């Protein structure tokens, strides 16, 4: 199958809305290479380039891409095959009033550091330290059911999830809320810690190879993004407080485990308290994001239950 190229010059969005207009239209089982801009669109090329405040337009997401067979009620599976770094450096920055330690007087903002890619292409350097290249897609999502979410916000449509598991080798599943799903992605990092504490990872432009699949009449009624890793299924939830996000992600895990094992909610809740567990995605965006890992030993394919 031919791999379709989607360039950022074809179009990017800064808001996920219900009525997006597609820049490309592809088959339900398409293979794509999607070019993404760095989240700051080239504004930081040296330590002298600092970002005084969060730009009004940030986290450009390349797309939207209409997936022809996708209709509301379906699930869109996005298998992330490879994320290639297409710059010779990333950058990590602080912005005043942004980040976990924004109130800490020892933290200087704005400030920028470049993280040059080593010749091998497998590591970057940060102030002389070597950090393995382990790319993450920060912003990825589909057109929401209603409302408008700028690309700094994570929610049930995806968006700025900033989740380290959104990486090559994993598949992310989205509910389809609108005809054609309207997939868009950007805001990649060469490396990022769980939490994204200073407000960014090592932000970078990339090319991303993905394969799409539309799951019709899914056995599980997906309400928000779900990640599949080689070992686990992880519902992802975003909310105003971390505790609220944990409740949503755990409730999703309870529903998945209950459906798989024909448990009642209490039994599934108890099982969720014994295996896998809650993980932090990011604690710095306008809504915070957590996920709840369910080892595959306890959950097969939630979209294809017998």
Residue (84 or 247) nearer to a second copy, CB: 247
Q: Rounded to the nearest whole angstrom, what is the least distance from the CB of residue 203 to a second copy in the complex?
A: 11
Determine whether 229 is exposed, middle or buried from the number of CB atoms within 10 Å of its CB (0-12, 13-18, 19+): middle
Shortest approach of a second copy to residue 150 CB, angstroms? 22
Kindly state the smallest distance separating residue 249's Cβ from a second copy, in Å: 9
Tell me how far, at minimum, the Cβ of 162 lies from a second copy, in Å: 11
Q: Which is nearer to a second copy, 205 or 293 (CB)?
A: 293
d(CA 166, CA 153): 16
Half-sphere exposure of 306 (CA within 13 A, CB side): 4
Task: Give me the least distance between CB of 192 and a second copy, in Å please.
Answer: 6
Q: What is the spatial distance between Cα 241 and Cα 281, in angstroms, rounded to a whole number?
A: 13
Q: How many CA atoms lie within 13 A of 61 on its CB side?
A: 31
Q: Which is nearer to a second copy, 101 or 219 (CB)?
A: 101
- Residue among 185 and 254 whose Cβ is closer to a second copy: 254
Whose Cβ is closer to a second copy: residue 28's or residue 107's? 107
Q: What is the DSSP string of 31-96?
A: EEEEEE--TTTT--SSTT---SS--SS-S-EEEEEEETT--TT-EEEEEEEEEEE-SSEEEEEE-T
Smallest distance from a second copy to CB 124, Å: 8
Question: What is the per-residue DSSP string for 103-163?
Answer: T-TTS-SSEEEEEEBPTTSSEEEETTEEEE---EEEEEE---SSS-EETT-EETTEES---
By CB under 8 A, name the binding residues for a second copy: 92, 94, 99-101, 104, 106-109, 111, 113, 115, 126-127, 129, 131, 164, 191-202, 241-243, 246-247, 250-251, 254, 261, 263-267, 269-280, 283, 288, 290, 292-293, 298
The smaller minimum CB distance to a second copy, of residues 93 and 140, is found at 93
């Amino acid at each position: 199958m031919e791999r379709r190229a989607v360039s950022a010059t074809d179009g990017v969005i800064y808001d996920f809305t219900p009525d997006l207009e597609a820049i490309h239209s592809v088959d339900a089982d398409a293979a794509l290479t999607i070019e993404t801009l760095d989240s700051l669109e080239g504004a930081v090329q040296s330590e002298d380039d600092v970002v005084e405040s969060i730009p009004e337009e940030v986290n450009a997401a390349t797309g939207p891409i209409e997936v022809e067979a996708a209709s509301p009620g379906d699930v869109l599976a996005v298998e992330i095959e490879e994320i290639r770094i297409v710059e010779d450096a990333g950058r990590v920055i602080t912005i005043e009033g942004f980040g976990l330690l924004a109130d800490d007087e020892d933290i200087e903002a704005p400030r920028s550091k470049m993280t040059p890619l080593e010749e091998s292409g497998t590591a970057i350097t940060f102030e002389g330290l070597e950090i393995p290249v382990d790319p993450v897609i920060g912003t990825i999502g589909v057109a929401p059911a209603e409302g408008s979410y700028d690309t700094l916000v994570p929610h049930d449509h995806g968006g700025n999830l900033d989740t380290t598991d959104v990486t090559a080798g994993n598949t992310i599943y989205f509910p389809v809320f609108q005809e054609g799903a309207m997939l868009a992605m950007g805001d990649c990092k060469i490396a990022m810690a769980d939490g994204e504490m200073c407000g960014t990872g090592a932000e970078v432009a990339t090319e991303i190879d993905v394969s799409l699949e539309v799951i019709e009449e899914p056995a599980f009624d997906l309400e928000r993004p779900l990640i599949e890793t080689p070992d686990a299924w992880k519902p992802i939830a975003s909310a105003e407080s971390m505790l609220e996000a944990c409740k949503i992600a755990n409730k999703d895990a309870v529903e998945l485990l209950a459906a798989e094992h024909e448990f009642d909610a209490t039994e599934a809740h108890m099982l969720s308290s014994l295996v896998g567990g809650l993980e932090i995605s990011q604690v710095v965006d306008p809504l915070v994001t957590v996920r709840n890992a369910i080892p595959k030993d306890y959950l097969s394919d939630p979209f294809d239950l017998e």
